[in-house]
Chains A and B, each alone.
Chain A
Amino acid sequence: MIPLSWYIILSAALFTIGIVGVLSRRNIFIILMSMELMLNAANINLVAFSHYSQTLTGQIFVMFVITVAAAEAAVALAIIILLSRNRGSIYVDEFNIMKG
């Protein structure tokens, strides 16, 4: 059996990659993917804890998180389509009409 700590290390690594990705990338799609990584890091945690504590709540939680992540991606892509139509760019550092 794989020890719990391995899962936690994996999820912490994914979470960190996600955070660094959101903060450092310019391309909006990569930012979105990094956010998915953050959510999936939490999912790994939830499933691992659920398995080791023998309670089902964590796995139910994961189902909801996956659904919400899909909805979020749909909204995000719709907004990105509008942006690329109106602005012709998907780089976040060019979205700077409002400042100060």
Chain B
Amino acid sequence: MPTLYQQFMQSMMPILPEAIVIIVGLTVLVFDFFIEKERKSLLGWYSLAGITIAAYASYTLMPMSGVFFGGTFHFDPFATFFNFVFYIACGLGILVSINYLEVEDIHRGEYYALMLFATSGMMFMASAGDLIILYLGLELMALSIYILAGFMRGSNRSNEAAIKYLILGAFSSGIMLYGMSLLYGLAGTTNLSGILAFLRVADLSNPVIFLAMIMLTVSFGFKVAAAPFHMWVPDVYEGAPTSVTAFMSAGPKVAGFAVLLRVFLYTFEPLREHSTAILAGLAVLTMAVGNVMALSQTNIKRMLAYSSIAHAGYALVGLAAGGPDGAASVMLYVLIYAFMNMGAFGVVIMLRKAGERGEEISDFAGLGKTNKTAAFLMLIFMFSLTGIPPLAGFIGKFYIFKSAVQAGLVWLAVAGVLFSAISAYFYLRVIMVMYMHEPKESIELSSAPSLALALAISVTAVIVIGVYPTDLLNYARASIAGIM
């Protein structure tokens, strides 16, 4: 007969990875008091160790699968897959931050704690089996990232980014909450499976069901930066500290897709016909806005912001295609996207030196002559973002468009290919500036072991996944089997 304590620990096992991340975050706040200003990078390495332990916990707990805490928490392969993407985003985010915070003189312990809290929020979002958990995970993530966006307290740009993100983020979560209240009123439950059971038997001509679905779409559209809800993205990405931008472009967006996949392909499955039309429309608009607006940008962070909008569009194509193939291609895509985007931002951070901003595309002039390694890494990431084989970006887009064609959405796949042809212009322009323009002055790069490690991991992943994607795709397919 197990003791009460053992029973308690046993029942808490499903949230062990989340608990580890939160506890490490809390201890970072405590240790922060005892570590002098010059050695704050210790906290970064400590957080990284915490993330690694949480990843190990997720890995060992993988065989356990099911619904826990009264149906509010799914511990399934789907959630575990996304948890690994969040560990990668958070781990790489911490690695690119350590040196950057030093350069910007904003090295404070809260930074790492907030990143860990945001990560745990994302993990809860991916595992949520109930609207309440979904809402709380989303707010935990969003509140942490509002603060991170304004982390450069003295900088006007950073303040402005934080307030813009907060106003639009809170506005969108207000809309989502109203949609959730309508769903609760209709179904009488906030449980995702309960809502599915309700929708199976409900009269689907009821306009309130669509109102609720559209309100949820609007709010998740905000989180994944889909047009026409993308207005905050360029400003926030430009104003926030670059390391936060890197994390923001990978973490919350992936979490948004995790929720979209679970809610649209699982809970809203009876509404499939209508949701496909909405998602396909969003996808086309998002790809168009992202790729066309990126053409005229001169600031690299702004350009990458529009590029991240465009990539949300590609992932939405897979979501509109639906089915196990579409879902698996979206999961593969967001994983690849996290690696290549983190890498691109890592190179941008390398260029940043105290005093000069290093954020204009013209600052890359002549990098191919002055620093061959950095230029070559940027070349790889830009090629991958464009989708040039044999790099990972190509594989991601290939499976997305393949699933769209198989689902009968040929026009959507054609639109996606056309828009990615447009995207070649602004990605390749960076390469052109690096290799064909003369260096303005000698560029000294700020490099550090942590940054080098992050770039090495990203570039290896981009190349390896590009050459050998089969196992990863099969893993994504196997993960999706549980919920569809």
Query: What residue in chain A is nearest B188 (Cβ atoms)?
Result: A53
Q: Compute how far the CA of A64 lies from the CA of B180 in the bound complex, rounded to whole angstroms.
A: 13
16 contacting pairs across A/B (C-beta < 8 A): A22-B167, A31-B167, A42-B180, A45-B181, A49-B188, A61-B131, A61-B180, A61-B184, A64-B135, A71-B143, A72-B166, A75-B166, A78-B147, A79-B166, A97-B156, A97-B157
Contact B167 A39 (CB under 8 A): no
Additional A-B contacts beyond A79-B146, A87-B156 (15; CB < 8 A):
A8-B185, A19-B175, A22-B167, A28-B163, A35-B170, A38-B171, A42-B178, A43-B181, A45-B178, A53-B185, A60-B132, A65-B177, A75-B166, A78-B147, A79-B166
Q: Does B164 contact A (CB under 8 A)?
A: yes
Closest 5 CB pairs of A and B: A38-B174, A45-B181, A49-B185, A42-B177, A42-B181
Chain A residues closer than 8 Å to B154, beta-carbon distance: 86
Q: Compute how far the CA of A60 lies from the CA of B167 in the bound complex, rounded to whole angstroms.
A: 26
Contact A46 B184 (CB under 8 A): yes
Chain B residues closer than 8 Å to A64, beta-carbon distance: 132, 135-136
Please give the distance in Å from A15's CB to the nearest CB on chain B.
6
Q: Compute how far the CA of A16 lies from the CA of B99 in the bound complex, rounded to whole angstroms.
A: 46
Chain A residues closer than 8 Å to B174, beta-carbon distance: 18, 35, 38-39, 42
Chain A residues closer than 8 Å to B157, beta-carbon distance: 97-98
Please give the distance in Å from B444's CB to the nearest CB on chain A.
27
Q: Does A9 contact B (CB under 8 A)?
A: no
Q: Does B139 contact A (CB under 8 A)?
A: yes
Q: Compute how far the CA of A46 lies from the CA of B238 in the bound complex, rounded to whole angstroms.
A: 38
Q: Compute how far the CA of A80 lies from the CA of B147 in the bound complex, rounded to whole angstroms.
A: 12
**A57-100 near B? 1/0 per residue, CB < 8 Å:** 11011001100100110011011101100110000100101111
**B81-120 near A? 1/0 per residue, CB < 8 Å:** 0000000000000000000000000000000000000000
Q: Number of residues in A with C-beta < 8 Å to the partner?
A: 45
Q: Compute how far the CA of A87 lies from the CA of B159 in the bound complex, rounded to whole angstroms.
A: 9
A4-58 CB contacts (< 8 Å) to partner B: 8, 11, 15, 18-19, 22, 28, 31, 35, 38-39, 41-43, 45-46, 48-50, 53, 55, 57-58
The prevalent SS among residues of B at the interface is helix
Chain A residues closer than 8 Å to B170, beta-carbon distance: 35, 72, 76
Residue among A68, A86, A92 with the most chain B CB within 10 A?
A68
Q: Does B269 contact A (CB under 8 A)?
A: no
A interface, CB within 8 angstroms of B: 8, 11, 15, 18-19, 22, 28, 31, 35, 38-39, 41-43, 45-46, 48-50, 53, 55, 57-58, 60-61, 64-65, 68, 71-72, 75-76, 78-80, 82-83, 86-87, 92, 95, 97-100
Q: Number of residues in B with C-beta < 8 Å to the partner?
A: 42
Given known A64-B136, A68-B136, contact A97–B160 (CB-CB < 8 A): yes
Choose among A18, A46, A78 the residue that contacts B181 (Cβ–Cβ < 8 A). Answer: A46
B132-184 CB contacts (< 8 Å) to partner A: 132, 135-136, 139, 143, 146-147, 150, 153-154, 156-157, 159-164, 166-167, 170-171, 174-175, 177-178, 180-182, 184
Contact B182 A45 (CB under 8 A): yes
Q: Compute how far the CA of A35 lies from the CA of B296 in the bound complex, rounded to whole angstroms.
A: 34
Contact A98 B150 (CB under 8 A): no
Q: Does B74 contact A (CB under 8 A)?
A: no
Please give the distance in Å from B127's CB to the nearest CB on chain A.
17
Contact A75 B235 (CB under 8 A): no
**B277-313 near A? 1/0 per residue, CB < 8 Å:** 0000000000000000000110000100000000000
Chain A residues closer than 8 Å to B171, beta-carbon distance: 22, 35, 38
Q: Does B25 contact A (CB under 8 A)?
A: no
Q: Compute how far the CA of A24 lies from the CA of B170 in the bound complex, rounded to whole angstroms.
A: 16
**B185-215 near A? 1/0 per residue, CB < 8 Å:** 1001110000000000000000000000000
